[in-house]
Amino acid sequence: MKKVNLLSMVFMVVLTSLLTACSTVDGDGRYRVATIGNAKRSVEAVIITSQSVFVQTATSGGGATFGGTTGGLIAGNNSDNAGVIIAGIIGGIIIGDAIEGGANVHDATEYVIKTATGALFTVVQVNKNNPIFQDGDDVILVYGFPSRLIRDPR
């Protein structure tokens, strides 16, 4: 019985690792290989207002998998009761996902900008590896995924 539980947990860890390895890298100043060399539409703009916000990126499932596996192994080593083992797995999943989710919160800034054509846009940008703009700064809005603001060098 314990061998089957252990093999099931190992299979779950391997499967989750394979699935999370397929996630994209778009966002936070990174680009997919497919977007390199593609021209993106850009428009000049000015910062009207800005405020500090937080951005929470999605969890990968790795924390939940690790927590569930660890909780299941700890419970399995201390009890032969299936209910206790299942409770250990569920508790570990909840705790592991919460820990990973807390690590995925990033400082960011929300900007309201007015483009040269008069259109208003709201753009949220993670502060890490990006310039932080002030009200009245001239910027360029780069359309795409993700849209982003860069300093207008002119």
Residue-wise pLDDT for 45-76, tens only, equals 999 988 888 776 666 777 778 788 888 888 88
Q: Examine the pLDDT at 139 and tell me if it is beyond 80.
A: yes
Within 13 Å, how many C-alpha atoms sit on residue 115's CB side? 14
Q: 89 and 47 share a domain?
A: no
Share of the chain above pLDDT 90, in %: 6
Residue 89 domain flag? yes
Element of type H or E holding 88? helix 82-103
Q: 97 and 46 share a domain?
A: no
| Residues 69-100 pLDDT 10s | 888 888 888 877 888 788 888 888 888 777 77
Q: 15 and 52 share a domain?
A: no
Q: 15 and 68 share a domain?
A: yes
pLDDT average, residue stretch 108-132: 86
CA-CA distance, 8 to 31, in Å (whole number)?
36
In the β-sheet with 105-115, what is the strand arrangement from edge to edge?
A: 120-126, 105-115, 42-56, 138-142, 148-151
The pLDDT value recorded for residue 138 is: 92
Average pLDDT, the chain: 74
Q: 15 and 84 share a domain?
A: yes
φ/ψ of 144, rounded to 5, equals: 140, -165
Closest CA to 52 of 8, 93, 107, 7: 107
Q: Tell me which residue range forms the domain holding 66.
A: 1-25+59-103
């909840």: which residue's tokens? 94
Residue 21 domain flag? yes
The pLDDT value recorded for residue 64 is: 77
Q: 110 and 45 share a domain?
A: yes
